[in-house]
A and B are shown apart, each in its own frame.
Chain A
Amino acid sequence: MIKGLLTTLREMFQQPVTIQYPEVKRPVRTRFKGRHVLKRYENGLEKCIGCSLCAAACPADAIFVESAENTDEERYSPGERYASTYEINMLRCIFCGFCEDACPTEAIVLGDNYELSFTDRHQSIYTKDMLLEPVPPGGKPTPQNTEPGKYTRSVPVMQDPQD
């Protein structure tokens, strides 16, 4: 019993491990899988080409994609196809990251944000606007009016096939 009390006494003078969330936030680990982000290229074009492979890979059926055709005048992503609708239901998502693995353009990435709370089921559906990352500096928002014949490839050419 004395041994037990001693332990208690010792712990009383230790630094507390409790963090005062939400005032203090602990950085997440590098491989943490939080809320998704839809990435853009440097020029602002969306990486997502609306291929639905993430939706097909998702074990929880959390993703819904609908696609449409790009034109040079109204371009969202390189190539012919872009996602006209992109939704993830965060209540369904189990944060497994399969979508990330399936994506041929590395468009969908599980980010750092873990603060997902909702007061209503509908709020758990993240639409494309909510998921898309901000336009990087120097880039233009989508849709863009682009030079004809420049963005004909949907999937970027791999530099090194062994990569």
Chain B
Amino acid sequence: MTKLVTLTIDDQPVSVPAGTLVVDAAKQIGNDIPVFCYHPKMEPVGMCRMCLVEIGRPMVDRGTGEVLLDENGKPRIQFGPKLETACTTPVSEGMVVRTQTKVVADARREVLEFILTSHPLDCPICDKGGECPLQNLTMGFGPGQSRFLYDDKIHLAKHVPLGELIYLDRERCIQCARCVRFQDVIADDPVIGFYNRGRRLEIVTYSEPGFDSIFSGNTTDICPVGALTTADFRFGARPWELKSSASICTHCPVGCNLTFNTRREARAGGNPVIKRVMPRQNEQVNEIWICDKGRFAYHYTESPQRLTQPLVRRGDGFEEISWEEAYQLAAQKIRASQNLLTLTGGRLSNEDLFNLRELTLARNGQAVLYSDMAGGDLTASYGLAPGSNFGSMGKETAILVVASDLHEEAPVWWLRIKAAAQRGARLIVLNPRSTRLDKFATHTLRYAYGEESQALATFLPGAAVPEAYQAAVQEFHSAENAVIVYGSEGAGLAASQGLAQTAAAILAARGKVGQVNNGLLAVWQRANDQGAWDAGFRPVEDLPAALRNVEVALIAAADPAGDDPLLAQALEETGFVIVQELFMTETARRADLVLPVQAFTEREGTLTSGERRVQRFYPALPPRPQTRPDFAVAAGIGKALGLDLEGRAASLVFLRLVKTLPAYAGLTYTQLAEVTPQYPIIGRSDLYYGGTAYDNHQGLGVQLPLLPAARPVAVGQSQTAASVTAGEGEILLVPVTRLYDRGNTVLPSALLHQRLAGKTIRLHPQTAAAFGLNAGETLRLSRDGWSAEAQVELDEEVPLKMALAVRSTGIPCSALSAVRLERLTVASAD
């Protein structure tokens, strides 16, 4: 426990931990000292002088060190001759702060007057107008009139694209450096900076493409004026016209808390549309940050390509039918079949998954998760214990990240783990190639693709440790708390099963299971994979065979045919295929019955994040006519089969879910919607102290308790996945994940197109030379059943005879596998 220091702010005593800054201490008692450059998530810099206050300290007798008392027996306070910045001054015992005196008011007025001398005052057209700290503080403390002549104002460029996502208005910038500091300190992407000085100062970008950072959108939230705006929202609406609805990001397992801002729009025929996505504070999940995928990749939900009517196959085409007919048809086919397979994707909510599960189990079907990652049963028993929070991890914790490029797979976890490492947490990164996390790691270890489990096994107590690993292993075992994070870099189902088992065994052996800030964390490929595991869905090793052998396949939120031609072939052989989808995907094209569902923005539900936090999302938009939520569709089919399924509302499904799934026992929607005060206070209501991120009034979610393990983890039993080797003319294809992939939920956001991963494979120059390939050339990859063309990229870091392929870009790669590689002979003129 840090020492508490007591001080007096405007005659009100307050006790705060030593080291707290005067601004933050004042905030705790509701005294808003105005700030511009200070941000509660960053170190102070004292650049803007807006926070000037009078600070007095008790006088001390130099000889004795005694505090001098006045005639009333109170300590004598000496005020400095000048005002001090509250944002850079830490509290000290007996300090007296005055914020309401005339000198302070004068100082505030003068600082504002000075800032406004070079401010364009175009609030009427400024996107920040209405939620702008400068506007608010000017109204609160500023001068009514300026002594400067309007003609003296400096005119600068107002439309400066820093990249295709973020625009700068040079006139509006007040040079607080919040954006520059955020990129430098928090996001570790120092791609923007100050150039020139004084009134000529401007923010410039150093990167190509401009402002190359996956966190760039956050700078528009923390910019205290409208100098930085996003291309997505530019002139989109005035902030006061927007309605807000709480939601959860469904792009990755972090589960960042979002707020959707909506407004009616003429282009949409007077219907409400999403105008922008903003972060919502949850200090245990995303703090006040979100990545640009969460911010900009929502456009798929409003795509005109969305399905709007149930469709049934008639010959080569589809014909519209009513929902009732669709349910009856589905039920008839399921009733007539011996075996049913339900394949779900991790985009679905817990309620959807629960109803699909009930439907499947009632028909003795197989509940299959569409994923190449295993271990969800282990994370349920060995996962992060309730109360764990990356934000509270420090030097007593060792974080071991294995087989994951976190920056691409789960950006906000990367951000928070990096911050933990900077606070002293011992970060050990185990990955075959370098990643953005290496820089912050205490130990960086390498292994060859395919040997992840063996590499991790060296962390088992008593294991033989190779020389290179010794220091890291020792460090890991000497830490009080242990967190193991595993991903799917280069790993398929079998390999990740081995990884998860080994990791669970390490944690079990250390006896740390169930303690706060300890446990196993899977970097799932989709947002609610954990929820799907909890509901009993499991990935299968040979999905093509499984699909081929069933009479009815019910596929929801998954596009196997689009990812892998082998699966597409298998689907052709499946008896009857029912697809619940948003779009006419490759899978839907091969279906016999296509059921249009609602996007998560149009309905309610819950998602379970990788940290096993159950969080609610709320509807932001009215549903499209003729679409239904997945849980209602499953219930509709179930009812037609004579099953008792709930399909009226997500909350009613949840009531049944908590009675069935042990981990969720006793949870209620009300509990999920509870909030407790969060620190730091960043509130919108507090003059946008920490930017325009939304306060959280809709729930912080609940972390699920750990379940007792069904059986002790089998140490080392991990099938040393029959090591794949590449033969003559072949290479090993290594699946890796990129944030901006070409999935169905990313592609419709045109704004991100420049940044999407290409259909490329990355090779070591030597490997490429062996095949006679140069950078940029096209090659053909083939394996029994499929072939795909891709472009060559050279990368020194890729191991020899291996090729990195990005998931969801059209190259089928679910696990490490050997593929034939051919150079495509381009018919050239010579």
Cα distance, A64 to B234, chains bound together (Å): 18
B125 within 8 A of A: yes
Partner of B238, one of A56, A69, A155: A56
Given contacts A66-B266, A157-B151, A161-B150, contact A79 B235 (CB under 8 A): no
Partner of B124, one of A66, A152, A155, A158: A155
Mask: chain A, 47-74; 1 = CB below 8 Å from B; 0 = not: 0011111011000000010111100000
Is there an interface contact between A55 and B241, defined as CB atoms closer than 8 Å? yes
A112 within 8 A of B: no
B644 within 8 A of A: no
Partner of A51, one of B124, B146, B155, B234: B124
Is there an interface contact between A152 and B155, defined as CB atoms closer than 8 Å? yes
Given contacts A79-B125, A154-B122, contact A67 B235 (CB under 8 A): yes
- Set of chain B residues within 8 Å of A152, measured between Cβ atoms: 155, 158
Is there an interface contact between B155 and A49, defined as CB atoms closer than 8 Å? no
Cα distance, A57 to B240, chains bound together (Å): 12
B439 within 8 A of A: no
Please report which residues of chain A, range 65-109, place their CB below 8 angstroms from some CB of chain B when the two chains form the complex.
66-69, 79-81, 84-85, 87, 104-105
Cα distance, A120 to B757, chains bound together (Å): 53
Q: Closest residue of chain A to B270, judged by CB?
A: A64
Is there an interface contact between A81 and B240, defined as CB atoms closer than 8 Å? no
- Set of chain A residues within 8 Å of B235, measured between Cβ atoms: 50, 67-69, 80-81
Given contacts A154-B125, A155-B124, A157-B150, contact A80 B266 (CB under 8 A): no
Cα distance, A11 to B155, chains bound together (Å): 69
Partner of B159, one of A80, A85, A157: A80
- Set of chain B residues within 8 Å of A161, measured between Cβ atoms: 145-146, 150
Cα distance, A69 to B129, chains bound together (Å): 16
Cα distance, A87 to B266, chains bound together (Å): 10
Is there an interface contact between A80 and B238, defined as CB atoms closer than 8 Å? no
- Set of chain B residues within 8 Å of A87, measured between Cβ atoms: 266
Cα distance, A85 to B235, chains bound together (Å): 13
- Set of chain B residues within 8 Å of A50, measured between Cβ atoms: 125, 235
Cα distance, A55 to B125, chains bound together (Å): 14
For chain B, what secondary structure do more than half of its interface residues adopt (helix, strand, loop), or is it mixed? loop
- Set of chain A residues within 8 Å of B129, measured between Cβ atoms: 51
B265 within 8 A of A: yes
Partner of B125, one of A51, A56, A84, A85: A51
A150 to chain B, nearest CB (A): 12
B823 to chain A, nearest CB (A): 45
Is there an interface contact between B150 and A69, defined as CB atoms closer than 8 Å? no
Mask: chain B, 208-241; 1 = CB below 8 Å from A; 0 = not: 0000000000000000000000000011111011
Most buried by A among B125, B145, B155, B236: B125
Q: Closest residue of chain A to B155, judged by CB?
A: A152
- Set of chain B residues within 8 Å of A105, measured between Cβ atoms: 124
B161 to chain A, nearest CB (A): 12
Is there an interface contact between B122 and A155, defined as CB atoms closer than 8 Å? yes
Cα distance, A49 to B236, chains bound together (Å): 13
For chain A, what secondary structure do more than half of its interface residues adopt (helix, strand, loop), or is it mixed? loop
A52 to chain B, nearest CB (A): 5
Is there an interface contact between B234 and A69, defined as CB atoms closer than 8 Å? yes
Cα distance, A51 to B235, chains bound together (Å): 9
Is there an interface contact between A158 and B150, defined as CB atoms closer than 8 Å? yes
A118 to chain B, nearest CB (A): 19
- Set of chain A residues within 8 Å of B264, measured between Cβ atoms: 64
Cα distance, A85 to B234, chains bound together (Å): 16
Cα distance, A50 to B151, chains bound together (Å): 25
B297 to chain A, nearest CB (A): 22
Mask: chain B, 126-165; 1 = CB below 8 Å from A; 0 = not: 0001000000000000000110001100010011000000
Cα distance, A49 to B122, chains bound together (Å): 11
Is there an interface contact between A85 and B266, defined as CB atoms closer than 8 Å? yes
- Set of chain A residues within 8 Å of B121, measured between Cβ atoms: 155
Given contacts A52-B241, A69-B234, contact A80 B150 (CB under 8 A): no
B167 to chain A, nearest CB (A): 10
- Set of chain A residues within 8 Å of B145, measured between Cβ atoms: 161
B240 to chain A, nearest CB (A): 6
Cα distance, A84 to B265, chains bound together (Å): 11
- Set of chain B residues within 8 Å of A155, measured between Cβ atoms: 121-122, 124-125
A161 to chain B, nearest CB (A): 6
- Set of chain B residues within 8 Å of A157, measured between Cβ atoms: 150-151
Mask: chain A, 118-134; 1 = CB below 8 Å from B; 0 = not: 00000000000000000
Is there an interface contact between B150 and A104, defined as CB atoms closer than 8 Å? no
A69 to chain B, nearest CB (A): 5
- Set of chain A residues within 8 Å of B159, measured between Cβ atoms: 80
Is there an interface contact between A104 and B266, defined as CB atoms closer than 8 Å? no
- Set of chain B residues within 8 Å of A49, measured between Cβ atoms: 124-125
A6 to chain B, nearest CB (A): 63
B153 to chain A, nearest CB (A): 9
Most buried by B among A55, A66, A79, A153: A66
Q: Closest residue of chain B to A161, judged by CB?
A: B150
- Set of chain A residues within 8 Å of B238, measured between Cβ atoms: 51-52, 56
- Set of chain A residues within 8 Å of B266, measured between Cβ atoms: 64, 66, 84-85, 87
- Set of chain A residues within 8 Å of B155, measured between Cβ atoms: 152
- Set of chain B residues within 8 Å of A52, measured between Cβ atoms: 237-238, 241
Cα distance, A154 to B235, chains bound together (Å): 13
- Set of chain B residues within 8 Å of A53, measured between Cβ atoms: 124
> Known pairs A51-B238, A104-B124. 19 more at Cβ < 8 A?
A49-B124, A49-B125, A50-B125, A51-B129, A55-B241, A56-B238, A64-B264, A66-B266, A67-B235, A68-B235, A80-B125, A81-B235, A152-B158, A153-B122, A154-B122, A154-B125, A155-B121, A155-B124, A157-B150
Which B residues are within 8 Å of any A CB, using their own CB?
A: 121-122, 124-125, 129, 145-146, 150-151, 155, 158-159, 234-238, 240-241, 264-267
List, sorted by A's number, 15 A–B pairs whose CB atoms are closer than 8 Å. A49-B124, A50-B235, A51-B125, A51-B129, A52-B238, A53-B124, A66-B266, A68-B235, A69-B235, A79-B122, A79-B125, A81-B125, A152-B155, A154-B124, A155-B124
Minimum-distance CB pairs A-B, first 5: A51-B124, A81-B125, A85-B266, A52-B238, A104-B124
